[in-house]
Chain A
């Protein structure tokens, strides 16, 4: 208590030191005066009395010193003095200071922001107990690359497997409705009873399902999400055993899921219900392979994923018997960590970003290092003087470290602000496909790490001159001799240039790839096309007939709208290949009069069910034959239009018009049960496998006015000359007239397509940004070195000019130094960039990883900017007045 008070008083002493110094001087003076008076009274001469008084005091100055040390905190006072000294130095040298702070801020800001994003992707831990032991188990095939499984397989696997301590599954998340007063649309997941225990999730409230509740026809129970508990029940603990109405069925709540609960496939979920699977039926339902499901398992301790896969392989081969023989070869067993499954291809982008950002940090560090080294060299004489005046080595080192610390703190503060801004920008421009980005927060550990790194850079380079024993020659030498510093800085500049070449070439490649993507011919018109989707409730539209009636009425109503020139309908839309669309295998298309194609060859074929005006709205031209007609919609014929690619594949040079095609099905032998289609036309190819994907062949069926041709998948396309914002309210009004409960989702096709390019746009923007940051800093570093060299050689230049060197000679002399560094850095960088470009391969579209144009452009850009950074100080040197230069000596 009293000690604390003393500490506080000493801190105050720091602030009011000067006044107290004066006061103590007065006190001492009064002491000496009284002592002297006593001495005189005792018979001493005044001089002797005063001498005695001072002697007994033990020296006035020493006393003052002891008093001052007690009054304040000496170490803190020293530190403050160092800081003040550093600040004074920085004020005198604003260019150095601003450059250092900007460099640090960019380095710290960019690194922290990107790391905060990437951390969630690469290193995020999942909200499951021992999440590294959890895997996703299933089948993959060419049409479905995300592993899934089927009831017919799962139970056999579960009962006979060895590598897992437990296996479980979920059956996906579907829309469901809370049909009570105040109905709410919700997302309901169906999970196995073993799901929560396998994932190590314990309910926040209540309990998991009991095994008997997970049986068919058992009373319905549910766990609700924390969000639903909050929004619907206001966190009422009495929610347990409450009965709610779910799609008109009573369901009893038995528990509340923890706040951080998430499905392993990241679907948003409000309610989880027991799957209540009929295990015995799994070999009879769905053509004997069981219901689709997604299986997950927990590895036994010590078992790796590869070992688990090896152990599961025989079991998988045994269950292959359930797959029709023709496809067996196409299905493969896949086991991977849940983490991998969630992140998919975000990995590559994340690593590239992380690499880019560390490159920027490296450049920033090199810059700070070279700045401090230059400063150290310039201050060699000052240090020598201070050392000669008695400053200890430790004192000088402390002083230098303080400077580095002050700069780092300033840089870190600016960097944090920058990071926060960058992070917001990232989140704003990022595509929705990057998982967890919207929840990314500034990572304080990363801030700390980058600050430490930059402090280390600054500290090491600053300390070096202080560590060297200040040479006596530094005191007398007219120009400082700092060859070691200059060499270090040249090495740093070469490294910076090299790293920025790597960054720039990466940015260049992505930029070119993005350009290609934007310029890609879609094969269809997107401008002036408005799409309308109406998610109809399955509860009220129970037959395909009902769907058809709704959409036919909608088509008719929308046709009457002003400004709408055509209305087409389809079950799916190009070019996105990830959204729902119908498809088949090439080998399953059988042409009348031709031998069947061997199973398992030819890849996939996209199928679209469209109305005649689909081609008109999207302006897809017919290459041969004709389009569908409105009359055909009411006939029972089966006309079909092939894409040019499919026609060429099936018929080569023959005329496909009028040919008959049938869809083969394997059940269990090849049968030709479906309708016989007649080819009426061949349409031009449309991009149908994503913007960057390799196009698939495609065929169009006519969606006739017949319930059999309809299903819940439907999208209406409007061709309109009016802006979407004008049309949208009219469309909504028309849809509401048909069904007041049906919401209409209205988009323009151009926007939808644009969104597909969000991801590459994001990657390109980020890498481009880093590349420019890196280049900027490298150029600053180069400029600094050349300017320094020029300044150092001022006298030499003066002498040379006096001896008859022309200004051009001087320019060549100074710029030559820069050019050497640029060439060396450039060559090293190009080599590294060519190697690093391999990493980018999967992100590139129609650009080779070693695209010569991109690399040439990058080299040129660097050469121009770097030369400019060299020529400016060199020109300044060229203008040196020889008389002036010689006189400064």
Chain B
């Protein structure tokens, strides 16, 4: 198994938003597990940093939260994307794709050579 990496600076926001877009409303713990699963368990999330990030997104109006009941009948706080959040995901994803594409071009020739 490959060494687990920490989350890179600035990518957490995109991961959270993207996961929420894909899965719909989700509570913090579920969100964290889902992100780890999506990364193929390559990412090791510090769960403690997730909540301030969620709060920041909520303050900025990209997500909203409400209390609900989890699949295991636990009371939990659920987060979901707002309209602004959906726009933000699309924009951020496009930007990120572009960025990785550019980086990939830098890396590719060296790999081939």
Give the docked Cα–Cα distance between A71 and B52 (Å). Answer: 8
Stretch of A52-60, A136-144, A696-704, A710-718 with 4 or more beta carbons under 8 angstroms from chain B: A52-60
A31 lies within 8 A of B56 (CB): no
Nearest to A71 among chain B residues (CB) is B55
Chain A residues with CB under 8 A of B74: 30, 33-34, 37
Cβ distance A33 to chain B, nearest Cβ, rounded Å = 6
A66 lies within 8 A of B59 (CB): no
A24 lies within 8 A of B51 (CB): yes
Cβ distance A193 to chain B, nearest Cβ, rounded Å = 69
B47 lies within 8 A of A2 (CB): no
B60 lies within 8 A of A6 (CB): yes
B52 lies within 8 A of A2 (CB): no
- Is B61 an interface residue when CB atoms closer than 8 A count as contact? yes
Segment 10-64 of A: residues with Cβ below 8 Å from B: 10, 23-24, 26-28, 30-31, 33-35, 37-38, 56-59, 62-63
Q: How many residues of A contact B (CB 8 A)?
A: 29
Nearest to B60 among chain A residues (CB) is A2
Knowing A34-B29, A57-B48 are in contact, say whether A70-B70 is a contact too (CB < 8 A).
no
Chain A residues with CB under 8 A of B84: 2
B62 lies within 8 A of A30 (CB): no
Chain B residues with CB under 8 A of A23: 77
Cβ distance A30 to chain B, nearest Cβ, rounded Å = 5
B48 lies within 8 A of A5 (CB): no
Give the docked Cα–Cα distance between A243 and B21 (Å). Answer: 81
Q: Mark A362-396, 1 if CB is under 8 A from B, else 0.
A: 00000000000000000000000000000000000
Nearest to A24 among chain B residues (CB) is B51
- Is A9 an interface residue when CB atoms closer than 8 A count as contact? yes
- Is A67 an interface residue when CB atoms closer than 8 A count as contact? yes
Give the docked Cα–Cα distance between A810 and B99 (Å). Answer: 85
Of B28, B30, B47, B48, most A-chain CB atoms within 10 Å: B48
Chain B residues with CB under 8 A of A26: 75, 77
Give the docked Cα–Cα distance between A2 and B27 (Å). Answer: 23
- Is A445 an interface residue when CB atoms closer than 8 A count as contact? no
Of B47, B70, B84, most A-chain CB atoms within 10 Å: B47
Chain A residues with CB under 8 A of B51: 24, 27-28, 63, 66-67
Q: Mark B67-92, 1 if CB is under 8 A from A, else 0.
A: 00010101111000000100000000
A6 lies within 8 A of B59 (CB): yes
- Is A145 an interface residue when CB atoms closer than 8 A count as contact? no
A57 lies within 8 A of B61 (CB): no
Cβ distance B64 to chain A, nearest Cβ, rounded Å = 12
A62 lies within 8 A of B75 (CB): no
- Is A3 an interface residue when CB atoms closer than 8 A count as contact? yes
A66 lies within 8 A of B29 (CB): no
B29 lies within 8 A of A35 (CB): yes
Give the docked Cα–Cα distance between A2 and B77 (Å). Answer: 23
Chain A residues with CB under 8 A of B62: 2
A57 lies within 8 A of B52 (CB): no
A67 lies within 8 A of B29 (CB): no
Give the docked Cα–Cα distance between A58 and B47 (Å). Answer: 7
Give the docked Cα–Cα distance between A62 and B47 (Å). Answer: 11
Give the docked Cα–Cα distance between A35 and B76 (Å). Answer: 12
B72 lies within 8 A of A6 (CB): no
Knowing A30-B76, A34-B29, A34-B70 are in contact, say whether A9-B49 is a contact too (CB < 8 A).
no
Give the docked Cα–Cα distance between A35 and B49 (Å). Answer: 16
B48 lies within 8 A of A59 (CB): yes
Choice from B55, B58, B60, B75 contacting A30 with Cβ under 8 Å: B75
Knowing A30-B27, A31-B47, A63-B48 are in contact, say whether A5-B60 is a contact too (CB < 8 A).
yes
Q: Mark B1-40, 1 if CB is under 8 A from A, else 0.
A: 0000000000000000000000000011110010000000
Nearest to B45 among chain A residues (CB) is A56
B28 lies within 8 A of A58 (CB): no
Nearest to A66 among chain B residues (CB) is B52
Chain B residues with CB under 8 A of A58: 46-49
B77 lies within 8 A of A27 (CB): yes
Segment 66-100 of A: residues with Cβ below 8 Å from B: 66-67, 69-71
Cβ distance A63 to chain B, nearest Cβ, rounded Å = 4
Choice from B48, B61, B72 contacting A2 with Cβ under 8 Å: B61
Knowing A34-B29, A34-B76, A37-B72 are in contact, say whether A67-B47 is a contact too (CB < 8 A).
no
Knowing A5-B60, A6-B56, A66-B52 are in contact, say whether A34-B46 is a contact too (CB < 8 A).
no
Cβ distance B69 to chain A, nearest Cβ, rounded Å = 10
A70 lies within 8 A of B61 (CB): no
Chain B residues with CB under 8 A of A35: 29, 47
Nearest to A23 among chain B residues (CB) is B77
B49 lies within 8 A of A66 (CB): yes
The list of the 10 closest CB pairs from A to B, nearest first, reads A58-B48, A63-B48, A6-B59, A9-B59, A70-B52, A2-B60, A34-B29, A30-B76, A31-B29, A27-B77
Query: Can you list 17 A-B contacts with CB-CB less than 8 angstroms, sorted by A residue number?
Result: A5-B61, A27-B28, A27-B76, A28-B51, A30-B74, A31-B28, A31-B47, A31-B76, A33-B74, A34-B30, A57-B46, A57-B47, A58-B49, A63-B47, A66-B49, A67-B51, A70-B55
What 9 new A-B contacts, CB under 8 Å, besides A2-B61, A5-B61? Answer: A2-B62, A6-B60, A9-B59, A26-B75, A27-B77, A31-B29, A38-B33, A56-B46, A59-B48
